[in-house]
Structures are given as C-alpha cells and as structure tokens.
Structure 1
Amino acid sequence: MLLWIAFSLMTAAAILAVLWPLRTGAATRAAGTADADLAVYRDQLAEIARDRATGLIGTAEGEAARAEVARRILRATAEIGQEGAVSGGDRRRRLVAAIALVGVPLLAGGLYLWLGSPLYPPQPLAQRLEAQPNPSDIAILIRKVETHLEANPDDGRGYEVVAPIYARIGRFDDAARAWANAIRLLGPSAVRETGLGEALMAQAGGVVTGAAKSAFEAALAADPKDPKARYFLGLAAEQDGRNAQAAAIWSALAADTPADAPWRGLLGDALARVGAEMPAPAAASGPGAADVAAAESLTPAQRQQMIRGMVERLEARLAEQGDDIDGWLRLMRAWSVLGDGAKAKSAAGQARQHFAGDTAALGRIDALARELGLGS
C-alpha cells in the first residue's frame, strides 16, 4: 500500500511540474494592459476634438495629434489580436499536455495491470529457469544436473556426465572436483583418470603437475594402451627436461597409432620438439592391396569367408585394445553387413562398456545402432 501511495505522489508531482508553467495569467494580463491603453487613446481623441472645438489648438495641430493617437490605437489593437492568437495556442498546448499527462499514467497502469500484478510473489532465477527451460542453453542443463547432484550427492554417473561439460566451458576447478567424485563413487577407469588429469593440467595452465601425472599413471594402469595417458606422460617427461624419456614414450605411442588416427599430427610435432623421428604407423585393420587382389580370384563363398575372417581379426584386436572407437563402429557395421545382427548388437554392447564415461563416443555408438536397427 505504501508503495502505491509513493507512486501516486510522484506522478502527481510530475504532472504539476509540467502543467504549472502552462497555467493562464500571462496572456490575460497582456490583454488587460492593451484594453487599458485603448481606453486612454479614446479619451485622448475626445480631448483633441474638444480642444479643436474651443479653438485651443489649430486645425493642423489637431489633425497631427489625432493621427498620432490613431497610430497608437492601431498598434494596441494589433497587440490584442496577437495576444488572442497566442492565448488560443496556449490553450491547445495545455490541452495536449493535459491529455498526455493524464493518459500516459492511465495507459501505463492499464498495461501493468494486464501484464503484471503487485500481488505476484517474487520468482528466484532458478524457479524462472525451471518454468520454461531452453534445452539448447547449456547453463540451464548444467544447473539441472547440479540441482540433481545437490539432492543426490552419491550419484557418480551425474558427476561423470557433468565433468566434461565443465571442462568444455572452462570451469576447470569444477571439472576436477566432478571427476574426483566420479572416481570416488564409481571407481577408477582410464576415461575418468585422464579426465581428471586434463582438468588438473588446465588449472595449472597446461603444466602436468604432480597430481595430474598421478592421474595419468592411474589411467595407464587401468588401460596400458590409453593414448591420452601415454601422450600426457610423455609431455610430463618433456616438461621435466627428460627429452629422451619423452621421445621413447611418444615413439612407442606413434608405433601403435593407426595412420588415420587424428592425433598422429600432434605426435609428430611432439617428437620433433625432442629431436626424434616419427616411426611408421601401425598396420591398418582393413584389407591391403594383396588381400583385395586375392579376393578377386575367390568364389563368392570363399570371399565371404575371407571377409568374415578379417572381421573376426578386428574383433580379436578390439578385445585387447578396446579404446579404438572407430574400430568398434567398423565392427558393428561389418557384422550387420554380414547379416549377423546378434554379433553386431553384442559389439555395440561391448563398445558401450568400454566408453561408459565418454558421452561423445556413446552418442556415436547409439547413432550407428539406430541406423543399423540394433535397438538400445
């Protein structure tokens, strides 16, 4: 109630401040002065006529005086006309000002009563975000996960989901805490330990700290072939000035890396920094030129058996080195092409187990499974 009284007083003061200069009076006073002058001039004309009749002034002097008074009368009459025009303009301005000053508050009040109400309770930011969330807004999605984790602090999967998102948007402290909680609740894995190590590195501006190095070593213990852990342990050796050890680590990683791996260029640059050459890439998992030539001379049944043998070799390699997401996708597609849907679905399940903490890899696996009609 006090708020409404204050608003009313402020509005009244504003209206008064605008209308006061437009009040009547100036034009009325000017018109009254002109009328008094006309009365004086008329008296002067009458006096001149009397003086001429009694012979007090001559004809020439009388005409001259009469002409002068007539000029004054004309000037006063013109001033009265101007004052009347000004007075009419003032009235129009006052009318417009009154309409504006009364209409604007009424319009604003009507809009406020239509679009809002002083009786509505306050809505905190979190409540407004929950009302109509925009799925494309990453901040809202993060807030949802954080709210869930506040209510369920032992949900390791929630920490594992939000940790890489924190890292992607530059919240490295939160990413490190989330990865640490995921490891505490779900146990260590190569993906979780490398995620923690990368977050700790980002906190330190790209330096492989002692804590980050321990995380990468734990990742390597969980998966001796993990390429991220091997690369960053080589980087730790380089930053410590042990270039020979860094070269040995990176050379071994490059020898195990396929020619089409996206990180081969990064490895080449790293090896060049420590004065080592890039070794030959690992053998490709697909058929070579000799295999293709031999397949052309086979019968359809023999060719089918040859293809099945290559797919089985790929399956055996992935059983030992399960961190090759592209290999798993090739295996799923190969079994599907061969008409063995059960094995294709089994390959999808194994791939999901290997990349349980990698949301990007899981998305690729699920997308291909839907494409091949393998279900979830």
Structure 2
Amino acid sequence: MLIWIIFALMTGAAIFALLWPLSHGRVAAFADTADATNLYRAQLGEIERDVARKLIGPAEAEAARAEAARRLLRASGNEAGPAGETESSLRRRRASSALALSCVPLLALLVYGAYGSPGNPDQPLAARLQADSSRQDFALALSRIETHLANNPSDAKGWSVIAPVYMRQGRYDDAATAFASAIRHGEAKPEMHAGLGEALTLAAGGVVTAAARESMVEALRLDPKNPRARFFLAIGKEQDGDMEGAIAALRALLADAEADAPWAQAVRQRLERLGAESAGSAIAALPAADRQAAIRAMVDGLAERLKAGGGTLPEWTRLIRSQAVLGDKAAARGALATARERLAQDAEAPAKLDALESELSLKETAP
C-alpha cells in the first residue's frame, strides 16, 4: 500500500510542476504594467510624429491610437479574461491543464505496467543493494579478467583462474579454451590437464572423447593419484562397454579416497549403479531355474548390508521394492520401518517412503 501512496504523491508533484507555469506564465510576462504604459506613450508619440510628417491621415492616426489603447488594456488586465488573457489563450491553457491531468497518471501507469514488477513482494533495500552489489562486483571482476587476458593472452595464471569460473557457469567450451591456454603458457599441472579433460567431456554431453582421455592420461602421468582424471577414465571404460574395468577403477579410487572427500559419495553412487547393472546382466544370463535364487541372494545381501547400518534413500527404496516384487511383503514392511528410522534427518525421505508404501500396497489393514 505504501508504494501506491508514494506513486500518488510523485504523480501529484509532476502534475503540479506542469500546471504551475501554465497558470502563472502570462501574469509574470505582463506583471510590469509601468513598462506597458511607457510603451503605450512611445507609440502615441510615434503616431503624432507620423501625423506631423503627413505620413498618415487623421483616420489612420485615430485607428492606430485605438489599437495602442487596446494593447495597454490587455497588458494591464482591464479587458475580459484573467491576468490579461484573451479568450483563445484561456481556452488553450485550460486544454493544456486537462491534458496534463489525464495524460501524466495514465502514462505513469502504462510505463510501470510495462517495465515494473507490481506482482513482486517487497524486499528490504539493504538486501537488494547487497545482492545487486555482489552480482555487479562478480561481473565486473570477471570482465576485468577477460579484458586483461585479451590484452595479455600469455598470462597462464590468469587463464588458470578464469577456467574454473567458466566451469561453474556451465561455459564448458570457454573453460576448455582457458585450461588449454593455461597449459600452453606454462601452467601444465595435473589439475589443469584433468580440468581440460572434464571440460571437453561436459562440452561433448558427457562423452569422454579421445582428446579428453589424452588430457586425463597426461594428468595421471604427472599425478597418478589425481581423482578427477581417474574418475573420468573409469567413465570412459564404462562407455566402451568394459563394465568390469570401470567397476575396478572406481573401487580403487574409493580405496584411495580420504574419509571426507567431497566427491566420494558421487563415486559410490555410480559404483552401485554399475554393480546393479552388472549383476542384472549376469542374472539375466542364468537359466530360468537359477535366476530366482540369484535374485533372492542379491536382495538378501543388500538387506544384510543396510541392516548393518547406513544406507541412502535410493538403496532403501530398491530393497523395499525388490522384497515386495518377490512377494515378501512382511520383509518389505520391516525394511520400510527401518528406513524411516534411519532416514529421519532426510527432509525428502518421509514423503517418498509414504508414496512407496502406497504404491506397493504395504499398509496393513485393520482386522
């Protein structure tokens, strides 16, 4: 509500600014009646001199005197119309005032509707300024670095700084160019080669290309423990159809990982997916008589591992679904109850587990 009050006051101020000169301009222009009287006397003197020189006749002189008198009357405000105005000028002034009163608010509303945000909620000024300032500062800093690199293309350090920024922005082609420039001009470090390989992979839609593999291999030559290079080379094996090689590479990577490595969870999830796919392929190749037993053994193994502790929401979901498909609804209900306890801190888990319970018809009906 406050914003509309402010708009109304601003609109009123704008209209007043337009109407003030319209209502006072002519009075100011003719306020000095003494000057008008002096001018009238000068005109009369000029008429008398013209008569004396016989430049005009008596009739013309009388007409000129009458015209000069009418001008004096208009200037001093003695004719009809306020402040010495004629009827036509008064009509023009009134029309201008009406136009200002109608057009200014209408124009303001149209402009605000086109370029404003009337539907957005209020936001504190301090928060707005702080947010805008951070974005402006970042954009300005990035622009300065890009300008510097355009003028100094051999600055390897600058390229190594801007390359990760491009990666975070999703500008993978630009990131690959920056990593390559950093390497070319002296920053040929393992992380630069691994970064180049990742940028080339992401630019290709997740496909580990030949050029990306070359960069990863060079990164491992410089640092055999480089996790990023090892991870993407494992993905390359997976894309080549070497599932066993990909699984072995990911397991080795996890074995060398520190306990709090930020990328370890992503590796575990990919390894679990590959293991499930590999196991599924192996089970599908078994004779029909052995297939059910193999599936049961795999589900029981997953249940034992999750019962021992831990487990993610996708793992518990897979276990509950598998037990329900095998017809063991009692085990599925038990796993569901355990999952609710273990995942109590996961904000998404309760709703997803409830949906799974409903989908698999695991709710026990009262006798």
Instruction: With the length of structure 1 as denominator, give the TM-score of the two structures.
Output: 0.39
Larger radius of gyration: 1
Structure 2 length normalisation: TM-score? 0.40
If asked which structure has higher relative contact order (CA below 8 Å, sep 6+), I would say 1
